[in-house]
């Protein structure tokens, strides 16, 4: 079963310097029907004006990763990490027992467009950490490239390690390019179209659209038009189990 959520149905907040669309309930946007999916709690589609950003603020017990689509994003935290990420970079921060960080657009003349994604970890109180890896467009073109893997999968597995049983794939699709992903029995999948247009199992999706997928054993992406897609392979549960 594939349940489509159109981009226009997302929450929206425009703060001037920040234009943000919320796939799931976040901040002032609350919809009791949209509290996440499996261990996936937040997908925020953010555009930040030049020279602006999120000042230093705390997080804990959440796996947070950023995926830049256009422009650049500067990260700083109280662990001593500082970096600027650009398209193709994936930034993963395990907030664990607590971290302070800021995210800014360092450009004086260009906005930044990125996705901020939160996954509920499998336990509380982990030691905080910061990781980053680059995946080129060529590595993702016409295929689904694993960018996030469960930490339990080991260091030989592709992608950055997350403290949950979640895998995330990224792919770019144009014209006749086509990719398939097998789904283990009992697993759920969420698909988010970051930009462009693509066909998922015969259903047309556009930028900002998402799809909850249950009781399917295969997904197929095809007929892309400048499409960039994230696919989340998730545990078979309806909502995030927030840690007490």
Look at residue 243 and tell me if it is in a domain. no
Q: Is the pLDDT assigned to residue 243 strictly greater than 70?
A: no
Q: Is the pLDDT assigned to residue 108 strictly greater than 90?
A: no
Look at residue 170 and tell me if it is in a domain. yes
Look at residue 142 and tell me if it is in a domain. yes
State the pTM of this model.
Answer: 0.96
Give dist(CA 240, CA 29) in Å, integer. 18
User: CA-CA distances (angstroms) from residue 13 to 152, 168, 217?
Assistant: 37, 26, 36
User: CA-CA distances (angstroms) from residue 239 to 36, 42, 163, 171, 231?
Assistant: 6, 12, 17, 25, 17
Q: What is the pLDDT of residue 103?
A: 87
Look at residue 8 and tell me if it is in a domain. yes
Give dist(CA 158, CA 146) in Å, integer. 6
What are the residues facing 231 on neighbouring strands?
169, 191
Look at residue 17 and tell me if it is in a domain. yes
Look at residue 244 and tell me if it is in a domain. no
Report DSSP letters for 146-158, one per residue: EEEEEGGG-TTSS
Q: What is the pLDDT of residue 88?
A: 93
Q: What is the pLDDT of residue 244?
A: 54
| Tokens found for residue 174 | 């144009």
Number of folded domains in the chain?
Answer: 1
Look at residue 200 and tell me if it is in a domain. yes
Look at residue 241 and tell me if it is in a domain. no
Give dist(CA 220, CA 232) in Å, integer. 14
Q: What is the pLDDT of residue 62?
A: 94
Query: How confident is the model over 5-21, as a mean pLDDT?
Result: 96
Give dist(CA 115, CA 40) in Å, integer. 13
Q: What is the pLDDT of residue 82?
A: 83
Domain that includes residue 26, residue range = 2-234
Domain with residue 99: its CATH number is 2.60.120.10
């Amino acid at each position: 079963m594939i349940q489509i959520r159109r981009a226009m149905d997302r929450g929206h907040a425009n703060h001037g310097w920040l234009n943000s669309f919320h796939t799931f309930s976040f901040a002032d946007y609350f919809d009791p029907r949209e509290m996440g999916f499996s261990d996936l709690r937040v997908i925020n589609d953010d555009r930040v004006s030049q020279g602006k950003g999120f000042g230093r603020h705390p997080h804990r017990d959440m796996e947070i990763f950023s995926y830049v689509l256009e422009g650049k994003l500067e990260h700083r935290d109280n662990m001593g990490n500082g970096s600027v990420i650009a398209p193709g970079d994936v930034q993963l921060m395990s907030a664990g027992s607590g971290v302070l960080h800021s995210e800014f657009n360092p450009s004086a003349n260009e906005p930044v467009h990125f996705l901020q994604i939160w996954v509920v970890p499998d336990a509380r109180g982990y030691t905080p950490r910061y990781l980053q890896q680059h995946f080129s467009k060529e590595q993702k073109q016409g295929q689904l490239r694993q960018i996030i893997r469960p930490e339990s999968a080991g260091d030989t597995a592709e992608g950055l390690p997350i403290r949950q049983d979640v895998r995330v794939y990224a792919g770019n699709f144009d014209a006749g390019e086509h990719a398939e992903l097998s789904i283990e029995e009992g697993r759920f999948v969420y698909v988010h179209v970051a930009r462009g247009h693509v066909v998922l199992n015969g259903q047309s999706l556009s930028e900002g659209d998402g799809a909850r997928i249950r009781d399917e054993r295969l997904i197929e992406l095809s007929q892309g038009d400048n499409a960039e897609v994230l696919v989340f392979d998730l545990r078979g549960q309806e909502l995030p189990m927030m840690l007490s």
